[in-house]
Structure 1
Amino acid sequence: MADVKRLLKEAGQTYAAEAGIKLADTPSQLYRLLVLSVLLSAPIQAKVAVAAARELNNAGMGTPKRMAEASWQDRVDALGRGHYVRYDESTATALGDGARLLLDKYSGDLRKLREQAADVKALKEKLREVPRLGPVGVDIFCREAQQVWPELRPYFDGKARKGAEKLGLSAQDLPTLVGENDYARLSAALVRAGRDKKLAALVS
């Protein structure tokens, strides 16, 4: 069985934290997580998506209003600086459309989306309305957002459970391995272990 403490030490940084997002239940930080989740949804390396998310924020596109006001070319250029080049043009369009959707439906505040969702299933359905945020992206958002939205806990998606299986951990036991405040970190670590044989071997 894997050494969970070592797993958290080696790979327990959330993807949000890696992207420089100090996740909190605030409109801007939640929006930055949403953008990161959209970027991570594409079949592209996680480190590239993280770098692109940083570049978008550094370019001043850290809120739906600023994202919508930015030109399509500004979004393309920021994605390019993060080496998010295979999907830069279509993603730039999707990010603009998504920002306008959030502004129109939720005044740019994902907390209002949360308030309108009766349960987690409804929340996920509402998130699916965001362009380019398919089931994978919704899972990414939820497993990271559980850090600040307790009703999502415990959220260990298919990729996290696959990593757990690789480490000889039972999916049903995952919530008992760490405290609730570390669910997001454990989930991120499990996803990384599922992708990285060296990491899996190191903590097994």
Structure 2
Amino acid sequence: MNKSISASDLGIHLQHADESALFKWFIASFLMGKRIQAEIAAQAYRVIVEKHGRDTARKLGGCTHQQLVSMLGEAHYVRYDETTATRLLNLCKKLSEEYAGKIGQIQAASADRQAFEKRLLEFDGVGPKTLEIFMRDAAAVLY
């Protein structure tokens, strides 16, 4: 069983209304939600967000598919690199177009936690596991 990696393990300090931290944790949760070792997913997060500075929906969404595949490869996140790159780009596009790039806008558009979680599951590639990982740390600052 993989050790659970928390937001704070990645240096993400979640606080109420901190969009930057929420976005970073959403991306980390997305990467860890796949059938891949948690440490490799954490490394992919570090490469994309810390090394390459893709820390907002706009910046990450501005990558080309090939740039993202290369970043994932750099982190040895290779098994799902093509689909993950596509899904990350789609996620950023949807987040930007529908919620101004902000997790807080998803929350504001949701009547309650259940509605919020339902909206998160509408993102391509976000399934129950990604949702569980994200909410494990984010729920405390969102609800």
Is the pair's TM-score, using the shorter chain for normalization, greater than 0.5? yes
Partner of 1:19: 10
C-alpha displacement of 1:22: 2.5
Are 2:54 and 1:61 equivalent residues in the alignment? yes
C-alpha displacement of 1:92: 0.5
CA contact (8 A) 1:37 1:133 kept: no
Partner of 1:136: 129
TM-score by length of 2: 0.90
Counting only pairs closer than 5 Å after superposition, residues 1-204 of structure 1 correspond to structure 2 as 15-24=6-15, 25-57=17-49, 58-149=51-142, 151=143
CA contact (8 A) 1:49 1:84 kept: yes
Taking the aligned partners of 1:127 and 1:120, their CA distance within structure 2 comes to: 11
Unaligned runs of 5+ in 1: 1-10, 152-204
Taking the aligned partners of 1:23 and 1:73, their CA distance within structure 2 comes to: 30
Question: Any idea what the Cα deviations from partners look like across 1:124-169, whole Å, max 9, x if unmatched?
Answer: 10000111110111111111102322x2xxxxxxxxxxxxxxxxxx
Structure 1 runs of 4+ off > 6 angstroms? Answer: none
C-alpha displacement of 1:14: 5.2
C-alpha displacement of 1:20: 2.7
Partner of 1:200: none
Taking the aligned partners of 1:147 and 1:87, their CA distance within structure 2 comes to: 30
Taking the aligned partners of 2:140 and 2:116, their CA distance within structure 1 comes to: 16
Query: Residue type of the partner of 1:123?
Result: F
Query: Residue type of the partner of 1:23?
Result: L
C-alpha displacement of 1:80: 1.2
SS of residue paired to 2:53? coil
RMSD: 1.5
Instruction: Name the CA shift for 1:14/1:40 in 2 (closer, same or farther; >3 Å).
Output: closer
SS of residue paired to 1:148? helix
CA contact (8 A) 1:14 1:144 kept: no
C-alpha displacement of 1:109: 0.7
Taking the aligned partners of 1:89 and 1:28, their CA distance within structure 2 comes to: 25
